[in-house]
Copies of this chain bind each other. A is one copy, B any other.
């Protein structure tokens, strides 16, 4: 049995590892056009900032290590050019020559990932305008930071990655400006919660420009200035583009595979695409929203890992499922952590739910125990069924715990009155006798 996997980062290597564990005889081949595999995409901001000191720490497995661990053939630097499903055939370009070669597969896993959106602003071709996606992107940014005498950096886009990079650049001693077209940071969050993060950014000496965008980049060879849509002018030595990503689907453009509304590949919970024996996994694939049941594209590392594993297990004859996602996300920005799960208010309303939202502020642990901090939780509830539809949590400590409790509660289709009933662990250094999640439930039940 021959398993071909296109792409060797999170989903691709998870798929290969799982397939090789389940079937020792299968020939498993990863085609990776880049030179790195299996690196920790989510760790790159910390590698750039120096929080993670050594490059090899963000490389989960080098090709050599991966080959030692798993019975997988790595075709590093080999770019697949064409998929021919009718013949179960791949055409690929070898790394050292322009020769095209052919690989015959029994099962194919597409794990081509996603890439940054690069808007066609005038001046976009100037040097020192970069996006962060791959390890080599991180290498480039790190090199510029080390070699150029940078003073000012501008981050275009205030999403999760953009804001993580704020901290990275500040740690490197740079002056940081964030410019965001929307009227708030963290577009996935509600305005009130995002405001807490925005205030924190400003307090950390970041220049924050909301409701404005890039009109043009200017400079000689290197970018030096940004003219904004609303007429502003910013001087800058480096620009990080963080305005979104799009799925890498070029390889499937000319084959009759079902894509979702997002443009990413549609796959069922077994990660099977519409073409027999072809699976898709990771950032190039959609997932099922566990609340609405709809196919959505929310590329995240945790999902990619799971989908890869499921695709790999199924490719060698297993019966694995990835039921779906709640779009749970978390980011740390200096001392503040912001997390979300489930539907946002906007999404819930669009889905036709009759919603109620409640926001509470509580202590992450007993106020009398040292270092207690406030945590804000917003819950979004369906008035008709009482079901918890979504949540946002922001604070300095204990945010990850509360979002995971709420994510588990939403997965389990719990209702507002269940939050008070949860038997969460209490000791003064971990929580309050009534945990903030229970308090959210009490307030939402309107039992005061």
> Which residues of chain A have a CB within 8 Å of any CB of chain B?
10, 21-22, 40, 42-43, 46, 51-52, 57-58, 60, 164, 290, 300-306, 309, 313, 318, 320-332, 337, 339, 341, 366, 368-370, 400-401, 403-405, 407-409, 411-414, 418, 420-431, 433-435, 438, 447-448
User: A325: which B residues are within 8 A, CB to CB?
Assistant: 423
Given A42-B366, A409-B412, A424 contacting B302 (CB threshold 8 A): yes
Beta-carbon contact of A407 and B427 below 8 Å: no
Which residue among A301, A411, A424, A425 has the maximum number of chain B CB atoms within 10 Å of its CB?
A425
Beta-carbon contact of B434 and A306 below 8 Å: yes
Q: How far is the CB of A341 from chain B (nearest CB, A)?
A: 7
Beta-carbon contact of A46 and B329 below 8 Å: no
Q: How far is the CB of A411 from chain B (nearest CB, A)?
A: 6
Beta-carbon contact of A425 and B408 below 8 Å: no
Q: How far is the CB of A56 from chain B (nearest CB, A)?
A: 9
Beta-carbon contact of B422 and A411 below 8 Å: yes
Among residues of B, the one whose C-beta sits closest to the C-beta of A406 is B408
Given A10-B433, A408-B409, A431-B400, A426 contacting B302 (CB threshold 8 A): yes
Among residues of B, the one whose C-beta sits closest to the C-beta of A417 is B321
Contact of A290 among B313, B318, B423 (CB under 8 A): B423
Contact of A400 among B320, B401, B411 (CB under 8 A): B401
Contact of A430 among B306, B368, B400, B413 (CB under 8 A): B400
16 contacts between A and B (CB under 8 A): A43-B368, A46-B369, A290-B423, A320-B447, A329-B425, A332-B430, A341-B425, A400-B425, A400-B431, A401-B401, A403-B425, A408-B408, A408-B409, A408-B422, A411-B412, A411-B422
Given A21-B448, A370-B51, A434-B302, A423 contacting B407 (CB threshold 8 A): yes
User: A43: which B residues are within 8 A, CB to CB?
Assistant: 366, 368-369, 428
Q: How far is the CB of A206 from chain B (nearest CB, A)?
A: 19
Q: How far is the CB of A259 from chain B (nearest CB, A)?
A: 23
Beta-carbon contact of B424 and A404 below 8 Å: yes
Contact of A429 among B304, B332, B413 (CB under 8 A): B332
User: A301: which B residues are within 8 A, CB to CB?
Assistant: 426, 433
Among residues of B, the one whose C-beta sits closest to the C-beta of A342 is B423
Which residue among A370, A414, A429 has the maximum number of chain B CB atoms within 10 Å of its CB?
A429
User: A330: which B residues are within 8 A, CB to CB?
Assistant: 425-427, 430
Q: How far is the CB of A333 from chain B (nearest CB, A)?
A: 11
Q: How far is the CB of A243 from chain B (nearest CB, A)?
A: 20
Beta-carbon contact of A40 and B300 below 8 Å: no
Q: How far is the CB of A214 from chain B (nearest CB, A)?
A: 27
User: A438: which B residues are within 8 A, CB to CB?
Assistant: 306
Among residues of B, the one whose C-beta sits closest to the C-beta of A370 is B51
**5 further contact pairs, Cβ within 8 A, besides A302-B433, A322-B421, A404-B424:** A42-B426, A42-B433, A46-B368, A304-B433, A411-B422
Q: How far is the CA of A427 from the CA of B103 in the complex (A)?
A: 36
Q: How far is the CA of A21 from the CA of B426 in the complex (A)?
A: 25
User: A426: which B residues are within 8 A, CB to CB?
Assistant: 42, 300-302, 328, 330
